[in-house]
Amino acid sequence: MAGHSKWKTIKRKKAVTDSRRASSWTKLIREITVAAKAGGGDPGANARLRKAIDDAKAANMPGENIERAIKKGTGELEGVSYDEVTYEGYGAGGTAILIEGSTDNPNRTVADIRHAFSRNHGNLGTSNSVSWMFEKKGQILIPVAGLTEDKVMEDALDAGASDFEVDGEYFVVSTEPTAFHAVIDALAERKYVPESSELAMVPKNLVKLDATEAQKVLKLIDVLEELDDVSKVFTNLDLDALELEEAGA
């Protein structure tokens, strides 16, 4: 969500890209380790691990890094032990913020997250303060280009999807959490190549803010996403409404 247009030189762009790639690899390695710890080191029998490995390969992570992360998760190699964590809070305008991550030091992580909220017009909340505003769903984004809506919808529903919609340049295929990996596999068999897929916390209702307040929320999300202990950040901010407002300005 950061404003790439503000980067002034190629050197600056490369430095930021390299930094974010390293950060991304850190998060991907953690997810592989946590997935292997939770469900075993066989990706054929551990759908979460298989997804984590696919994401790592898509980020051009070397195979030896992936193997080490798996073995650390299964205990075959010594390594840091990570626990999954969830934090909740409020951004500008009362928007709900839900954070998922993994950490080897919860005290450090909660301090970093509290600091991010306090410096960016937000407040860290208590457990269940905003999680009730979201529901977990699988979300698969397939580029529209070259595909027919009716055909993709038919294939998605046949694959076990619970919902289907067109959002700009993407078909959005939604699933129940338990069906997520099966739907991905079924779509792959039909030769679909998703641009992204994840188990997401989807807001039940969206909050509309003016551009000034919305930018405060986006800044908070940027800061949170930069933290190594944070893997995903979800909000109920209505970004579509913001884009329409900016387009009409």
Total of domains in the chain: 3
Pairing relationship of beta strands 163-167 and 230-235 according to DSSP bridges: unpaired
Residue 141, pLDDT > 50, answer yes
Identity of the amino acid at 81: S
Please check whether residues 126 and 239 belong to one and the same domain.
Answer: yes
Residue 9, pLDDT > 80, answer no
Residue 194, pLDDT > 80, answer yes
For 4, 33, 185, the CA distances from 28, given in Å and listed in that order, are 23, 9, 21
Pairing relationship of beta strands 196-203 and 134-143 according to DSSP bridges: antiparallel
Domain contains 174:
yes
Please check whether residues 16 and 69 belong to one and the same domain.
Answer: yes
Please check whether residues 223 and 110 belong to one and the same domain.
Answer: yes
Please check whether residues 210 and 235 belong to one and the same domain.
Answer: yes
Non-local CB neighbours of 86 within 8 Å, separated by 6+ positions: 98, 99, 100, 101, 127, 131
Please check whether residues 191 and 210 belong to one and the same domain.
Answer: no
Please check whether residues 110 and 214 belong to one and the same domain.
Answer: yes
| 128: confidence class by pLDDT, cuts 50, 70, 90 | very high
Please check whether residues 122 and 158 belong to one and the same domain.
Answer: no
Predicted model pTM: 0.81
| Model pLDDT for residues 45-92, shown as the tens digit of each residue | 898 899 899 989 988 999 999 999 999 999 999 878 889 999 999 999
Domain contains 88:
yes
Residue 23, pLDDT > 70, answer no
Mean local confidence (pLDDT), 170-181: 92
Mean pLDDT (the chain) is 86
Please check whether residues 65 and 163 belong to one and the same domain.
Answer: no
pLDDT at 245 (0 to 100):
55
Please check whether residues 192 and 211 belong to one and the same domain.
Answer: no
Please check whether residues 171 and 185 belong to one and the same domain.
Answer: yes
pLDDT at 248 (0 to 100):
52
Please check whether residues 164 and 184 belong to one and the same domain.
Answer: yes
Residue 208, pLDDT > 70, answer yes
Please check whether residues 12 and 70 belong to one and the same domain.
Answer: yes
Provide the CATH number for the domain around residue 154.
3.30.70.980
116 or 248, which is more confident: 116
Domain contains 137:
no
Residue 173, pLDDT > 90, answer yes
Domain of residue 192, residue span: 142-203
Domain contains 235:
yes
CB 159 within 8 A of CB 183: yes
**Lowest-confidence region among 112-126, 129-143, 200-214, 230-244:** 230-244
Provide the CATH number for the domain around residue 13.
1.10.10.200
